[in-house]
Structure 1
Amino acid sequence: MPKVTTARQKAQKQSKEDASSATNRAFGPIFNKDLGQHILKNPLVAQGIVDKANLRTTDTVLEIGPGTGNLTVRILAAAKKVVAVEMDPRLAAELQKRVQGTPDQRRLEIMIGDFMKAELPYFDVCISNTPYQISSVLVFKLLEHRPMFRSAVLMFQREFALRLIARPGDELYCRLSVNVQLYAKVEHVMKVGKNNFRPPPQVESSVVRLEPRNPPPPVDFKEWDGLMRILFVRKNKTLSSSFKTQSVLDMLEKNYKTFCSTHDMMIDDTFDIKEKINAVLESVDMGGTRAAKCDLDDFLKLLVAFNEASIHFC
């Protein structure tokens, strides 16, 4: 005997299908893993991030990757204005709908496009649930921004966050650590488990706070980073060993001769780049030290000594 479906059962089935369809539209296709879209769904974590930003009622906040607005609405409750940069037009439309018809609508500006290519407006604080594939370039774009902002509260993959805050002697202490810490104070704010996101990422996350050093140190970053590249290739080797590879010697000799030529300086016939480098290391008593154990002051002292000897890294 064929199964008889009542009108009520049909209505219930249709209701379930409609609900499922709505859910898929809202939470399925909207998220693009290729863009690193993992929406923070835990309201307690979202509020905790906003609280750690110490927002003022006069603040303009830059939010990177607002998604569906779970952080945005909390930021709007504490700040004067939010400028949200969203790459995905679908998510931007969802965010626009969320505030439409509310007092927050006038205080939210949505920029659709790639954050890395965007001309950033003035902002006091930055808050971001960062797409992990742009973590490093995002940090440096923020640190280069002028006028300087007060602070940034940023979500990163756990290991990347731990590299940002690593100190001399830590296993994760690296070139990234010293390059960021040269320009900002960095602290770990909270751990965030993968189940706090939809869809869950494959890694655990952490939130860090960056406070730019104001004024920034008077250092040529290309010079600084050129030195760090050499020293952190093998951070546990002595500094004198780091300068013994032929490619490094050739590069520094070329830079030295170029500098002398452009500054009308004579080069002695007995010039030897190895001897000059060793003399610099001896002058600061750092030949036997290791990059893994050096702090910012050590690196700055070394860079100044090299530059005073007309040895440059870019």
Structure 2
Amino acid sequence: MAGGKIKKEKQKGQRAPSNHYQGGVTFHKSKGQHILKNPLLVDSIVQKAGIKNTDVILEIGPGTGNLTKKLLEAGKMVIAVELDSRMVLELERRFQGTPYSSRLRVIQGDVLKTDLPYFDICVANIPYQISSPLTFKLLFHQPSFRCAVIMFQKEFAMRLVAQPGDKLYCRLSVNTQFYARVSHLLKVGKNNFRPPPKVDSSVVRIEPRKPHPEVNPKEWDGFLRICFIRKNKTLGSIFKQKNVLSLLEKNYKTLQALKGAQNVSLGGNDYMDIAGPWNNEMMESDDDEMDMECDEAAEGEGSEFKNKVLNVLKEGNFEEQRASKLTQEGFLTLLSMFNKAGLHFS
């Protein structure tokens, strides 16, 4: 009786066999190592990527190679970028002596600091903590690639595809959709990973726009940062704020000085101040509702320049509009109007 009970408990503790390869590696959640264990899901991702047999595929964070194997079967070559040396060794062992070994190139290193070679398509299950910087590294990669199919944390993915008026619509939404066509492909539950993460995931397809939009990237991003200081406040109230007016006025005076204006006197370090602090502030944050103190401009202080800024908003009927509901075309129109008035954001 006792023996039967022990046998029953042992069977209860056993896991069902899986054709998902794990090797002898321990996965670290702190490094964002969550390996896809569902082979049907892996097949679905590869299928939705639309890989051609002539494609060079970039994979980021291949882990033990479950997705890598399917990519090698579908394309011409896989370039896998992996930070963890243990995973690199496991990956090389897995494909050593197989027909795939000559078509797999493994680069050990941080993908954010690595010069990426040419590739046609990117397919990846990435560490979620690098989602934002990696997305923009890919968007600005040259030569441009056909598309990227990437697994993100669900909320981040929803921000990428959010439309004006959506709760998650933010600077990230506008910026990404400005440079690429973005579409949601799959929702992925946390139990499809080992070890399971704390959040659900989503697979997103990103297709860079060709040609690239003809807008200064720093100017565009600096403009959006201001508009999304508080996305639900009117643009009129945002552009009345003292720190916003101060930034714009410094940029305006610098531009006039560079054009040889006679009545402008700037200190030697002013231009560095303009180009530096505001543009570098919050570079690693995608929070669209930043909890930052915004000083209101004092009445009468710099009123001439303040009126110059607010007149642009009034002329375009933007004064009562909010960033949370403004379309990409609306942002472009407003930026163009500011620039025509000599007002710049970088």
Match of 1:154 in 2: 150
Q: Is the 8 A contact 2:23 2:64 kept in 1?
A: no
| Between 136-145 and 228-237, the greater mean CA deviation after superposition | 228-237
Whether 2:147 is the aligned partner of 1:143: answer no
Q: Equivalents in 2 of 1:47, 1:277: separation in Å?
A: 53
Q: Quick one: which of 25, 50, 56 aligns to 2:52?
A: 56
Q: Equivalents in 1 of 2:258, 2:312: separation in Å?
A: 22
Whether 2:264 is the aligned partner of 1:232: answer no
Give 1:306 deviation, angstroms. Answer: 0.5
* Identity among equivalent pairs (%): 57
- SS of structure 2 residue aligned to 1:156: strand
Q: Equivalents in 1 of 2:37, 2:261: separation in Å?
A: 63
Match of 2:344 in 1: 312
Cα-to-partner distance string for 1:258-304 (whole Å, 9 max, x where unaligned): 01110124669x98221111111122121111111111100000111
Letter in 2 for 1:54: G
Q: Is the 8 A contact 1:185 1:211 kept in 2?
A: yes
Q: Quick one: which of 23, 33, 39 aligns to 1:37?
A: 33
- SS of structure 2 residue aligned to 1:154: strand
Match of 1:118 in 2: 114
Q: Equivalents in 2 of 1:30, 1:295: separation in Å?
A: 46
Using structure 1 for the length normalisation, give the TM-score: 0.89
Give 1:30 deviation, angstroms. Answer: 2.6
Q: Equivalents in 1 of 2:161, 2:72: separation in Å?
A: 29
Match of 2:23 in 1: 26
Cα-to-partner distance string for 1:172-218 (whole Å, 9 max, x where unaligned): 00000001111000000000111100000010000000000000110
Which ranges of structure 1 fall in alignment gaps of 5 or more residues? Answer: 1-24
Q: Quick one: which of 236, 258, 276 aligns to 2:308?
A: 276
Cα-to-partner distance string for 1:126-154 (whole Å, 9 max, x where unaligned): 01101000000000000110000000000
Cα-to-partner distance string for 1:22-67 (whole Å, 9 max, x where unaligned): xxx935x531222110001100111111111100011000000000
- SS of structure 2 residue aligned to 1:153: strand
Please identify runs of 4+ aligned residues in structure 1 that moved more than 3 A: 265-268
Match of 2:293 in 1: none
Instruction: For 1:205-220, list aligned pairs within 5 A.
Output: 205-220=201-216
Q: Is the 8 A contact 1:30 1:91 kept in 2?
A: no
Q: Equivalents in 1 of 2:137, 2:227: separation in Å?
A: 24
Letter in 2 for 1:312: H
Match of 1:242 in 2: 238
Whether 2:222 is the aligned partner of 1:190: answer no
Cα-to-partner distance string for 1:90-142 (whole Å, 9 max, x where unaligned): 11111111111111100000000110110100000001101000000000000
Letter in 2 for 1:302: L
- SS of structure 2 residue aligned to 1:26: coil
Letter in 1 for 2:54: T
Give 1:244 deviation, angstroms. Answer: 1.2
Q: Equivalents in 2 of 1:157, 1:146: separation in Å?
A: 26
Letter in 1 for 2:47: D
| Between 78-87 and 223-232, the greater mean CA deviation after superposition | 223-232
Match of 1:165 in 2: 161
Letter in 2 for 1:272: E
Letter in 1 for 2:50: N
Which ranges of structure 2 fall in alignment gaps of 5 or more residues? Answer: 1-21, 265-301
Q: Equivalents in 2 of 1:166, 1:203: separation in Å?
A: 19
Q: Equivalents in 2 of 1:264, 1:309: separation in Å?
A: 17
Q: Is the 8 A contact 2:61 2:81 kept in 1?
A: yes
Question: How large is the RMSD of aligned CA atoms in angstroms?
Answer: 1.4
Whether 2:328 is the aligned partner of 1:296: answer yes
The size of the alignment, in residue pairs, is 288
